[in-house]
């Protein structure tokens, strides 16, 4: 891994097993003489080592005739059980640990160890709070561009639709209304996807630096994200195309046969598959951006990292989406009420004029801009931190992060 946030591809590092390799390869280890862990706060311990046999647990006094353990040969750390999660904890009850886990190093917004749900959410919010000068301009500009285009699309594409009630609408008018509504929805979604891709690319680089305790500017984030931007667009389009083709295979036969039961069965099978694939490849975006990999390799990396942790990634992703939805509902509801009651009143909702009037559209757009400015960094941050967490758990990425953050002897002296 380099000191930059563009993390190198792990190569032969395992993705679905315990991290391999002797501790001689860890930063700060000379691979030679045994380096015993020193108690916290005692820099002189290494020069005044106690005699063998005194590393018993507190309160446990070994009998006098207890045989002493044989001395470890040179480089004996390679004979010890592999320390979990990058070696910062040592093994339970190991020298100097007393069976407890000392605090992990925290150069940036997260501690360098496996993360809990609260730490992932807190790290995402903490990054937004600490690095808002870089994050807010990105999300604010992109959200503003998206909503300005969306307002004009809704205004001029829906203004020609009949505003009569559903009872008075003819079949032709109903078909035209449905087609126009679907067209507007598709255009809005396409614009949203493009904006989200740009935001995701740039925010991923900012979050990767925030993990190391480093700041990033908007120009630096764009410069680092730009080489992978086309690949990220390709990844997003490929994932969307796969979902559409899967739906066509499962639902289209029933539709062509005019069999409602087959359509329902195909749809019921399609939705769980969409969710499963979405979670399976949810870490492809940070893998693509931070490992500078190709689209196919990013999909493969995400699949390996999520393997065995699908339900955990699913739960955190769903919880984040629920939190984002609640924030959006509160913000949008407030601004929509202002727009409706200030321009046309409650009757504008009943006759449909609120969908095309400038006042409600502008206030609704302002609400969406504010909501997306808050939501997009949190969701992007959770995805990046989930990626980092899975690599720490499977590949000992904390050692590479500590080295990039300038922490010396990390993983060899208890953190």
pLDDT in tens, 211-230: 999 999 999 999 999 999 99
How would DSSP label each residue in 38-69? PPTT-TTGGGSPPPTT--PPTT----TTPPPP
* Structural domain harbouring 323: 122-162+169-394
For residue 26, is it within any domain?
Answer: no
For residue 44, is it within any domain?
Answer: no
What local confidence, expressed as pLDDT, does residue 7 receive?
53
Q: CA 101, 102, 106, 107 torsion: positive or negative?
A: negative
Q: Are 281 and 303 within 8 A, CB to CB?
A: yes
Q: Are 9 and 291 within 8 A, CB to CB?
A: yes
CA-CA distance, 205 to 210, in Å (whole number)?
9
* Choice between 166 and 228, residue whose per-residue pLDDT is larger: 228
Least confident stretch, 3-12, 234-243, 253-262: 3-12
For residue 296, is it within any domain?
Answer: yes
Closest CA to 209 of 289, 295, 143: 289
Q: Are 216 and 136 within 8 A, CB to CB?
A: no
For residue 402, is it within any domain?
Answer: no
The residue whose two tokens read 């005739």 is: 65
pLDDT band, residue 257 (cuts 50/70/90): confident
pLDDT band, residue 137 (cuts 50/70/90): very high
CA-CA distance, 18 to 49, in Å (whole number)?
32
For residue 408, is it within any domain?
Answer: no
CA-CA distance, 302 to 238, in Å (whole number)?
15
CA-CA distance, 146 to 149, in Å (whole number)?
5
For residue 413, is it within any domain?
Answer: no
> Which pTM was predicted?
0.71
How would DSSP label each residue in 266-289? HHHHHHHHHHHHHHHTTTHHHHHH
CA 165 to chain centre: 44
Write the CB contacts of 75 (distance below 8 Å, at least 6 apart in sequence): 24, 31, 32, 33, 34
For residue 89, is it within any domain?
Answer: no
Least confident stretch, 59-73, 189-203, 240-254, 378-392: 59-73
Q: Are 216 and 134 within 8 A, CB to CB?
A: yes
For residue 154, is it within any domain?
Answer: yes
Q: Are 204 and 396 within 8 A, CB to CB?
A: no
Total of domains in the chain: 1
Q: How many helices (H) and strands (E) does the chain have?
A: 11, 0
């Amino acid at each position: 891994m380099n000191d930059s946030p563009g993390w190198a591809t792990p190569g032969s590092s395992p993705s679905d097993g315990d991290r391999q390799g002797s501790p001689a390869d860890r930063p700060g280890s000379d691979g030679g003489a045994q380096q015993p862990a020193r108690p916290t706060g005692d820099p002189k311990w290494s020069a005044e080592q106690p005699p063998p046999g005194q590393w018993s647990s507190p309160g446990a006094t070994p009998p006098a005739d207890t045989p002493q353990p044989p001395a470890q040969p040179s480089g004996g750390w390679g004979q010890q059980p592999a320390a979990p999660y990058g070696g910062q904890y040592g093994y339970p009850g190991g020298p100097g640990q007393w069976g407890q886990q000392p605090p992990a190093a925290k150069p940036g917004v997260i501690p360098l160890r496996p993360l809990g749900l609260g730490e992932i959410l807190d790290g995402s919010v903490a990054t937004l709070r600490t690095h808002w000068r870089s994050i807010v301009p990105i999300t604010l500009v992109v959200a503003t561009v998206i909503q300005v285009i969306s307002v004009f699309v809704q205004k001029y594409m829906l203004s020609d639709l009949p505003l009569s009630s559903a009872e008075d609408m003819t079949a032709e008018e109903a078909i035209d209304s449905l087609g126009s509504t679907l067209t507007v929805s598709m255009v809005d979604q396409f614009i949203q996807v493009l904006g989200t891709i740009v935001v995701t690319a740039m925010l991923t680089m900012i979050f990767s630096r925030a993990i190391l305790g480093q700041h990033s500017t908007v120009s630096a984030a764009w410069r680092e994200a730009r080489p992978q931007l086309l690949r990220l667009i390709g990844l997003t389009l490929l994932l969307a195309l796969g979902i559409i083709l899967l739906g066509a295979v499962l639902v289209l036969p029933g539709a062509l046969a005019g069999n409602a039961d087959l359509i329902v069965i195909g749809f019921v099978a399609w939705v769980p598959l969409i969710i499963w694939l979405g979670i399976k490849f949810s870490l492809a975006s940070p893998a693509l951006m931070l490992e500078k990999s190709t689209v196919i390799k990013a999909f493969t990396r995400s699949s390996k990292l999520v393997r065995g942790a699908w339900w955990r990634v699913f739960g955190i992703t769903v919880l984040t989406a629920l939190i984002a939805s609640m924030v959006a509902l509160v913000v949008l509801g407030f601004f929509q009420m202002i727009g409706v009651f200030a321009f046309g009143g409650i009757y504008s909702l009943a006759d449909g004029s609120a969908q095309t009037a400038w006042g409600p559209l502008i206030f609704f757009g302002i609400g969406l801009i504010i909501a997306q400015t808050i939501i997009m960094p949190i969701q992007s941050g959770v995805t990046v931190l989930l990626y980092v967490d899975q690599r720490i758990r499977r590949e000992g990425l904390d050692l590479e992060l500590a080295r990039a953050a300038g922490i010396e002897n990390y993983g060899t002296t208890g953190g």
